[in-house]
A and B are shown apart, each in its own frame.
Chain A
Amino acid sequence: MRRWLKPLRVAIALVFLGVLTAAFLDFRGLVPARLAHAFAAVQIGPAALAATAGAVLGGVALAVILVVTLLFGRVYCSVICPLGILQDVIARLRHRRSRVLRFSAGNKLLRYGVLAGALLAVGLGATGAAFTLLDPYSHFGRIVATLGRSALVFGNNALVPVAQALGGQAIYRVPPPAPSLGLVLFALGAAITVTALALWRSRIYCNTVCPVGTALGLLSRASAFRLTIDQTACTKCTDCLRACKAQCIDLRTGDIDASRCVSCANCLGACQHGGIAYRFAWRRTPRAPDSQRRAFVASALLLPPLAALPSAAPKPRRAPVAPPGAQNVDRLLDRCTGCQLCVTACPTQVLQPSVFDYGWFGFAKPHLDFGRAFCNFDCLRCGEVCPTGAITPLALADKRLTSVGTAKFERSRCIVETDGTDCAACSEHCPTKAVNTVPFRDNLRLPEVKEDLCIGCGACEFACPVRPQRAITVTARATHTRAAKAVEAKPQLPKPVGDFPF
């Protein structure tokens, strides 16, 4: 067992890392929405959020992760979490086999302080913001989506002229992503932090910063099967220390800190003496007073209340439009972790991450940017991929009637009024014909909005040629509603029937 456990772990981890990386890099819609969703929805952060909303996959994933942790420790951190696996990849670039990371006691105050802070934020109702800032999967998503995908698109577009010169149609130009500076800096900060920490001390991020790691660590300390050093077999050769990326093996005392062990099984294979093995640990007698638990409780009490923060949020110039399926803005902010999976999946790229459009707590969460594109009438992808249930999947018939905003027509700015020429770009694009044209002076046609039919897709605003301010704009609905469905009789055949009218 000790021989195949690590290769098995590595194989599964690479599948998770590969699929999720592909999903976040995907700029041509090649990764099936279901696949991206499945691999993201079993991540613990999204799973926990989705489970509270009653999602079956999220609930099952959460239960499985917790049970596995209770049985075998932090397998999640080594096998499923893309940020954890990414750190292993980064650490390998430097460490190879030579370097020994000595046992470290770990920074308990920081670890439990972050976890307590996260729990406190959740308790105070800032769930979405806490997950956005701290969930490792979401950090991974932003790093790959914001930095990796942008670089990939840039490279793709640079290759297009070459491909076209060779007569190929396989590579085509895609609109360059334009993530805001705030988001780039945030992702860059996370990338640099994670990379530096991984190069320095391998999994120290997971064991110091990541609240998911800390929470699972608390559970791991009570796990049934634990990696244990057999003192009779151990020669203190330090082979296990070379293999351990969590710095959790204390050879002096012969203990392995279960709360920081990520169950990577490296030490199992490294030990030539059979000195480390999984042992059933639930027979043990109760432990001495628990210093870690005390540190956790103490740090929670020390934390400054986060509740004072939101009042400092800058006022958005215009209320952002939440994607269909979000139901309402508060719900979106509560449930979205800002992972960017919907943003990368959006085929028109109308979905863009906000910086402060929704206020502080809306950082990195998606809104519809009608200056860039409009929401495709028949597209369901954002809801299909969203792992947290922040964007609930809709049936096509529902999506087509979900109203996320209302078009407002400003006649005094319209070309038809100002220039006396036909335009109708707005009504041309409108999929529900909430914007239609009515006869106007001099054989012209003037746009007219039927608000009850409008779903706020933004096609009219996107198409309107009037600048600087457009003549038709979509106003967000804080709570989404259901649009009316137009009913029309079958149109009559033009006369004459069955003959040529000329």
Chain B
Amino acid sequence: MKTSRRDFLKTGLALAATVSAGRFTRALAADAPAAPRTILAAVRDGSRTAMLDRALAELGGLGQFVHPGQTVLIKPNIGWDVAPDLGANTHPELVGHLVKLCRDAGAKSVSVFDHTCDQWQRCYANSGIEPAVREAGGIVVTGDDHALYRTVEIPRGVKLKSAEVHQLVLDSEVFINVPVLKHHSGSLMTGAAKNLMGVVWDRRFYHRNDLHQCIADFLTFRKPDLNIVDAYHPMVRNGPRGRAADDVVELRSLLASTDIVAVDTAAARLLSQNPADIRHIGLAAAHGVGTSNLDSLDIRRVKLA
């Protein structure tokens, strides 16, 4: 699989970095870490694009994730037929900028889709994401076509043993998850892991068969290569659809990490929620797909203003 090659390269690079930095760290501390800790970039108080640029810089640049000639899938939240100011969807400015960065990094194609809750054409248009992606040189693909989904086995799934997954997830070389952070009346929070419900055909199955467990189970099948959480103006009530622009608060934050559990753990904190209350975070950590122990991470806290 392509992921294993990428993982191999990443590990290799990381090892090389450790070795070269070894002499320096040994001088500083007696018990040097064996491997570098996963980075969680947390940026505040900038524009969406500036915070994304900075977060990517902290993670070593987008070139760490997107190599020339690769096919890239960006999965924002486009679930609802509402304007960007309601905070129900990932902000189009952020998605558009990310598409552009991927194109600049030499991506062969950058595709964007979501299996929406409201009618998809209206969601794509009214979220502002479709025009933003087009303008940035990306491709907008429907998530509302059953023929585009293929059934996959999820051997490690507890409740979700198989799922019909959009072919872009299965066929793209790079998978970037770009959720918007918001309150959710059922799962308490929509973050990076919850956002991946939009890549499967049968969302009702999740609701019927232990929502939290299914969300966690999917991660054992496929983790995104990078998670970028749009927390510029998170919706703090009436989620996930939201009722009015009043439902959002201006937090001007952005989180980014390869660890989807870590990024959701931090995101829960941004919403003043206890990560332990959000069951899918714990269940995902139990699956070993990431860590909810923020102390084990290399958190890069950056304030731009």
Enumerate chain A interface residues (CB-CB to B < 8 A): 28-29, 160-161, 164, 169, 172-173, 347-348, 373, 376-379, 415, 419, 421-425, 427-433, 436-437, 443, 445, 463, 465-466, 486, 488, 490-495, 498-502
Tell whether, in the assembled complex, residue B142 and residue A169 are in contact, meaning their CB atoms are under 8 Å apart. yes
Question: Which of chain B's residues have a CB closer than 8 A to the CB of A502?
Answer: 42, 265-266, 269, 294, 299
Given A377-B81, A421-B210, residue A491 in contact with residue B184 (CB < 8 A): no
Given A29-B121, A169-B141, A500-B301, verify A494-B271 contact (CB < 8 Å): yes
* A433 and B279 contact, Cβ closer than 8 Å, known pairs A376-B118, A428-B185, A502-B294: no
CB distance from A60 to the nearest CB of B (A): 33
Partner of B241, one of A160, A431, A493: A431
User: Contacting chain A: which of B6-14, B16-24, B48-56, B245-253?
Assistant: B245-253
If A347-B122, A421-B210, A502-B294 touch, whether A491 touches B246 (CB-CB below 8 Å) is yes
Q: Is the C-beta of B64 less than 8 angstroms from some C-beta in chain A?
A: no
- Residue contacts A-B, CB under 8 angstroms, 8 given: A28-B121, A376-B118, A376-B119, A376-B122, A424-B187, A428-B240, A430-B241, A437-B186
Whether the pair A493, B249 counts as a contact (CB closer than 8 A) is: yes
The yes or no answer to B285 lying at the interface (CB within 8 A) is no
Which B residues are CB-close (under 8 A) to A433?
238, 243
Stretch in contact with the other chain, from B89-97, B98-106, B172-180, B201-209: B201-209
What band does the interface of chain B fall in when counting residues whose beta carbon is under 8 Å from A?
A: 35 or more
Q: In the assembly, what is the distance between CA of A169 and CA of B145, in Å?
A: 12
Given contacts A429-B241, A488-B246, contact A423 B208 (CB under 8 A): yes
* Bound CA span A501–B266, Å: 8
- Ranked 7 nearest A-B pairs via Cβ: A424-B186, A494-B272, A465-B208, A421-B210, A465-B204, A427-B185, A425-B207
B249 x A491 contact (CB < 8 A) = yes
Q: Does B62 contact A (CB under 8 A)?
A: no
Q: How far is the CA of A493 from the CA of B231 in the complex (A)?
A: 13
Indicate if the CB atoms of B184 and A428 lie closer than 8 Å.
yes
Q: Give Cα A365–Cα B202 distance, bound, in whole angstroms.
A: 32
Q: A169-B140, A172-B142 are in contact. Are A161 and B147 (CB under 8 A)?
A: yes
A279 CB to nearest B CB, Å: 56
Contact indicator A424/B207 (Cβ below 8 Å): yes
Whether the pair B117, A429 counts as a contact (CB closer than 8 A) is yes
Bound-state CA distance A501–B181 (Å) is 15
B44, CB-defined interface residue at 8 Å: yes
* Inter-subunit contact B212/A491 (CB<8 Å): no
CB of A415 within 8 A of CB of B142, answer no
Say how far A9's CB is from chain B's closest CB, in angstroms: 38
CA distance A432 to B238 in the complex (A): 9
Q: How far is the CB of A457 from chain B (nearest CB, A)?
A: 11
| Residues on the A chain within 8 Å of B154, using CB | none
